[in-house]
């Protein structure tokens, strides 16, 4: 059974997004630093995506972040009531080899995929649900 | 201030970035970085005081580096903390903008012919 450890509710406003990192520091304080650092990055990317893509033109709404723990897995859930947006749909691009070729963008999804053990998206009950799984040392 | 610009010898410009370069931090450095990118040709970027970096920050760095390289200039980074280096190397940004072990190495790289 996956237990809910903590929950944080935000609006999509930029100032509110800044509440996420102290929250994760507090609720995931037992996680080894290198893994916690990766959780911070993946969470920042996911929340920023939800805020930027789910609520165009300053539309109001709610983003909820939850941390769940089960044995050696931690799951961050990012739920929002914005427009349907599946951040996992974008194609991953191969790394550009030089500055001439690079098109900035796409690194957010790349970081989420690289830093998580699992990523799952679902649109359910009019909300976007993104789950990011992280493996903890056994 | 999340970013300061210093003039060093040999026409080298040092950019010092500070703090969390999250979505808000990247917005703050985007314009000053693009000004440096548009006007300087030998740039070293000091990341020692950067406590967090994600995709928006990478984007700002890459856009700046593109401008510098387009005019035949050079740019290098140094001082990244382990968690910041992790992000840079995972996305292969160090293959676009070299990540050097020290400020001295970065300066040597950008002034080399």
What chain A residue is nearest to B66 in terms of C-alpha separation?
A: A99
Distance CA B55, CA B38 (A): 21
- Note if the pTM is more than 0.80: yes
In B, what residues contact A, Cβ < 8 A? 20, 22-24, 52-56, 58-59, 62-63, 65-66, 69, 82-83, 86-87, 90-93, 95-97
Residues of chain A contacting B66 with CB distance shorter than 8 Å: 99-100, 102
ipTM: 0.94
Structure tokens at A23: 């929250």
Q: List, for residues A101-113, the tens digit of each pLDDT value.
A: 887 777 999 999 9
Q: List, for residues B19-57, the tens digit of each pLDDT value.
A: 999 999 999 999 999 999 999 999 999 999 999 999 999
Cα torsion A89, A67, A39, B4 to 10°: value is 100
User: Roughly what angle, to the nearest 10 degrees, separates helices B55-70 and B23-39?
Assistant: 0
**Residue A29, φ and ψ in degrees, nearest 5:** -65, -20
Residues of chain A contacting B95 with CB distance shorter than 8 Å: 95-97
**Residue A116, φ and ψ in degrees, nearest 5:** -115, 155
């Amino acid at each position: 059974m996956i237990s809910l450890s903590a929950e944080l509710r935000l609006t999509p406003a930029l100032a509110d997004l800044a509440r996420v990192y102290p929250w994760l520091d507090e609720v995931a304080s037992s996680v080894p630093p290198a893994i916690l650092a990766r959780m911070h990055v993946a969470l920042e990317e996911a929340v920023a995506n939800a805020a930027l893509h789910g609520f165009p033109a300053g539309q109001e709404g709610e983003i909820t972040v939850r941390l769940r723990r089960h044995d050696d897995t931690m799951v961050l859930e990012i739920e929002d009531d914005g427009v349907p947006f599946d951040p996992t749909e974008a194609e991953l691009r191969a790394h550009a080899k030089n500055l001439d070729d690079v098109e900035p963008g796409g690194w957010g999804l790349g970081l989420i995929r690289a830093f998580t053990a699992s990523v799952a998206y679902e649109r359910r009950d009019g909300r976007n649900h993104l789950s990011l799984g992280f493996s903890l040392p056994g | 201030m999340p970013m300061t610009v210093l003039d060093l010898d040999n026409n080298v410009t040092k950019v010092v970035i500070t703090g969390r370069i999250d979505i808000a931090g990247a917005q703050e450095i985007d314009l000053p970085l693009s000004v440096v990118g548009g006007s300087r040709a030998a740039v070293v970027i000091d990341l020692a005081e950067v406590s967090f970096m994600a995709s928006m920050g990478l984007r700002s760095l890459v856009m700046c580096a593109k401008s510098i390289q387009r005019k035949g200039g050079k740019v290098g980074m140094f001082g990244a903390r382990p968690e910041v280096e992790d992000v840079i190397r995972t996305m292969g940004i160090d293959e676009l903008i070299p990540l050097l072990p020290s400020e001295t190495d970065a300066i040597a790289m950008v002034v080399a012919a």
